[in-house]
Amino acid sequence: MNAFKVLVLTAALSAGGLAMAHGEEEHGKKAGPVKKEQKEWGIAGDAKAVKRTIELKMTDNMRFTPDKFEVRQGETVKIMIKNEGQMLHEFVLGTKKELDEHAALMVKFPNMEHDEPYMAHVPVGKTGQVIWTFNRAGDFDFACLIAGHYQAGMVGKVKVAAAPKGDGHAGHKH
């Protein structure tokens, strides 16, 4: 399996040409099935279940615009994140505790690679996306965890409103 992954990744990378910015090489990795791991803030979503797209912008003033959004419990959304700055930024969903821990690791290991369905590295002038199912109600966070960006306040909030009791949509598949 490992040799196969390396072969597929090598083929995907060579197809992309020689000039490749950080973040673009990860694009080839996403060809496999998305890791569906339940997190406190939800689980990776299926593109066909998306009912709404939320657009965010990232800039070099270390801010997301908007810096908060609201979804309903059970809702699968596509989060489109455009990097309008002149440096690499990223979008990572999580709890404040998880983001704090991850940010501390990023300071120690700035070149650490991570590729999870709740994060997107977005090169200058590009748009990334995260498809996520918010299946747990509560208040969650998102941030850019590149060393220095999180510490400068590049963070935002997600409010997941509890599904009304008796709402058949929460676990309903179309």
Cα distance between residue 133 and residue 118, in whole Å = 10
How far CA 108 is from CA of 75, 95, 145, 147, 151, in Å, comes to 35, 20, 12, 9, 13
Give every strand in the sheet of 127-134, ordered side by side. Answer: 43-44, 127-134, 75-83, 52-59, 63-65
Look at residue 115 in the predicted model and tell me its pLDDT.
79
Domain locations along the chain = 1-32, 39-161
The mean of the pLDDT values for the chain is 82
112-135, pLDDT tens digit by residue? 777 799 999 999 999 999 999 999
* The predicted structure's pLDDT at residue 164: 84
**Right CATH number for 39-161 from 3.40.50.2300, 3.50.50.60, 2.60.40.420, 3.40.50.970?**
2.60.40.420
Element (H, E) at 37: none
pLDDT digit string, tens, across residues 137-155: 999 999 999 989 999 999 9
Mean pLDDT check: name the lowest of 34-48, 66-80, 107-121: 107-121
Region of 80 please: left (phi>0), alpha (psi -120 to 50) or beta.
beta
Question: CA nearest 72: which of 167, 137, 141, 168?
Answer: 137
The candidate with the shortest Cα–Cα distance to 120, out of 48, 54, 3, 30, is: 30
Place of tokens 């689980």: 43
State whether residue 157 is helix, strand or coil.
Answer: strand
